[in-house]
Structures are given as structure tokens and as C-alpha cells.
Amino acid sequence: MVRRVSAHRRILIDPSCTGSIKAMPTSSTPTDTRALEGVIALLGQRGRRLDQQIEDRAGTAAADWEVEQHANLHAIESGYHALGVQWERLETDGGRWLLSQRPAGMVALRNVAPDVLRQAVKIGIPTVAFSELNIALGVPCVASDHCKAMAALTEHAIANGAKKILRIWAVSGSLDNKRPWLGQRDRGYMQACKEHGITPLPAVRIPHNLVNEPQDQQLYRNARTIAGYMLEHLREHGKMDVILATNDAAAFEIAQACQLLDIDPNKDVSIYGYDNIYHSHSYRQYSDFKPRMTVDKCNSIIGRTLIDVLMGQPTDTSRVSCDGNLNHWVEPLLIDPASTTPIVGTTPEQ
């Protein structure tokens, strides 16, 4: 039985930027007024204006926005109202105030103070977190299954005759920063290599620092950096059959790097991307490259599953697996840019 919210409880605040709460009332002893009864609070970290196109910032931020958007819509479809909270803009006691209002549920879309989430669970507020970054919090979590996706990509490469499959992980920030999703991809790659008797190659990790510059300059600057790291690998291991890129943006940069090294991308080597954003990325203005394969993480399913798990509703078992009632993994789709038919899963997202 879905609880409906009376008309006077209708609260819908733009979760992107313009209408979100920047500060909440603070008090050493916040009053439990239950003002948010029947409202699901979406705790985000990144803001976007609704008049911006996702393509303008294709990548992680766009993916986060897509997850938030579908979580918001599914909350409304389920008879609740969604309150978008710019988590990083709250005052010190904002989290405590939010808890005191007893929302129907809390969805942590990005990094949120762990003590706030644990306190929400302790006082009986349904809580769920998005992404593998929150797995260790001890609250239900919904994330993309990077391990399964990378195993599928590697198996596809092997099935098409690849013997030497190289991972090029271009990551922002310090290379020492441990990234759970990257560890999952490494496990998927290693599993597939072991199962098929392929000798794994060491991953090439490249610092990928974002600079505010025109996209064409960024493409060529990053390509030159990648080419330098690739040259070291070529001298030690020789040419590779397939390159697995961090994402579709990195796949464009790797393709450009290959050209600098007199390697014809997708002729001398096949480049696999990730995230299924190659068609809308701004690099398309400067390159006609397409990855041989890419991965659709199915962000709409992730967003809907967050609300299903939060409210104890059935999830799509054909696409979502559960790990001990806490962690829910959404199976991605393997996408061939030359075809409209996904290779993993059932049908493409609409």
C-alpha cells in the first residue's frame, strides 16, 4: 500500500541548483515537527541548472544527474514528493535539522557524512546510498556492477581474437587514491583473463587532471600525456590488440594518442570505452572516432532501484542482484556503437 501525501504536504524543490536549500534552520535542540513526513530527501553533492544539457558536462557529473533525475521521478510515481538537498551547502547543523523533520526516507546520492546516515538508520528513517563509494557505511547501497561489465568487455575482446588486452586507467587526482569502482573493474578483467587462459597485462595508470581550457586543447593535451605512457608500455610489451579505457572521453584521447604513435585506432588496435556517452561528448566536434564497444551503466535503473530499495518495493530482478540485503548491483549493458542491440542484458534503456 503506497502512502499518498496530502495536498498541503506538496514539496518539490529543484534538486539541481536554483531552488535547492542552501541552509536550514539550526538549533542545539531541533524540534521534531515531522514537517517532511511523506517526503523523500535526495541528498546530492553536485548541482546543475535545468537549462544545461547533460552533454555539456558528459561524464561522471552527467551520470550522477541522470541517477538523481530518475530517483526523483520514481519517488513521485511511488506517491511521495522529492526534496533535493545540496548537501555540501548545508550549515553545520543542517543534517541534524533534516533528521528532526522525519522525512519518509533519505537517499544519499553522493558523499554524505556517514554519521548522519547511521543516525537516520538508528532513529528509523529509511536510508539508502548510491554508488560503491558508500558500500562501507552499513546502509543499503545501490551501485553499478563494474566487475561484471569489465568481465563482459574482456570476454568480448577475447571472443574476437584478442590476446593482448591493455587497461589504460586515466583517473583524476592522485594515482594513490583508491577507487572502489576501479578495483571492481580490475577484478572483472582478471577473472575473464583467468577463465580464458589469457595472460593479463599490467594496467597503465595515468594522472588525468582536468583543466579549464577549450575542449580541443584538452583532447590533444591529454592525448600527448597518454602517448608518453603508452610508449613505455610498447617498448616493454609490444603492441596490444585491445585497449580498455576508463570511459568514452578517455577512449577519444587514447585514439588520438595512438595516432601520435602511428597506430591506427580501431584498425591496428580496438579501443573499448565505458559510460556510453561517446555520441554526445564534446570531443565529437574534433574527432570521428567511435569506440569499438562501450558500456551503458543504466543510470535510470539505478535511480529507480534506489527508491525501490528505500521503500521496500520489489526491484527488477532481471537486472538487479542483491548481496546480503544491503548491496544491490545493477547489471550494465554492453553496447556496440555499430549496432542498436545490447550484448549484455535485455533491451536498451529508453
Whether pLDDT at 297 is above 60: yes
Burial of 349 by CB count in 10 Å (0-12 exposed, 13-18 middle, 19+ buried)?
A: middle
CB 310 within 8 A of CB 141: no
Same domain, 292 and 306: no
Same domain, 117 and 246: no
The CA distance from 75 to 81, in Å, is 6
pLDDT at 5: 37
pLDDT digits (tens, 9 = 90+) for 193-232: 999 999 999 999 998 766 667 888 889 999 999 999 999 9
Same domain, 89 and 122: yes
pLDDT at 99: 83
Same domain, 281 and 164: yes
Same domain, 289 and 153: yes
Same domain, 26 and 114: yes
pLDDT at 176: 61
pLDDT at 248: 95
Number of H helices, E strands in the chain: 8, 13
Residue 349: pLDDT band by 50, 70, 90 thresholds?
very low
pLDDT at 210: 63
Give which of 346, 328, 344 is closest to 336, Cα–Cα: 344
Q: Is residue 180 part of a domain?
A: yes
Q: Is residue 262 part of a domain?
A: yes
Strands (E), 112-208: 127-130, 141-144, 165-171, 204-207
Same domain, 126 and 214: no
Q: Is residue 159 part of a domain?
A: yes
Same domain, 55 and 80: yes
Q: Is residue 343 part of a domain?
A: no
Same domain, 177 and 119: no
pLDDT digits (tens, 9 = 90+) for 20-54: 333 344 444 445 556 677 788 887 754 443 333 43
Mean pLDDT of 302-309: 94
Mean pLDDT (the chain) is 80
For residue 188, what is the domain's CATH number?
3.40.50.2300
Q: Is residue 342 part of a domain?
A: no
Strands (E), the chain: 39-44, 81-86, 105-108, 127-130, 141-144, 165-171, 204-207, 242-245, 270-272, 294-296, 320-323, 327-330, 333-335
Q: Is residue 88 part of a domain?
A: yes
Domain extent at residue 105: 7-139+298-330
Q: Is residue 336 part of a domain?
A: no
Mean pLDDT of 276-292: 91
Q: Is residue 266 part of a domain?
A: yes
Domain count, the chain: 2
How many CA atoms, within 13 angstroms, populate the side-chain half-sphere of residue 316? 17
Same domain, 126 and 220: no
pTM score: 0.81
Same domain, 229 and 288: yes
pLDDT at 91: 61
Same domain, 157 and 276: yes
The CA distance from 325 to 298, in Å, is 21
Give which of 179, 5, 132, 153 is closest to 76, Cα–Cα: 5
More confident residue, 56 or 251: 251
pLDDT digits (tens, 9 = 90+) for 75-96: 999 889 888 887 666 665 677 7
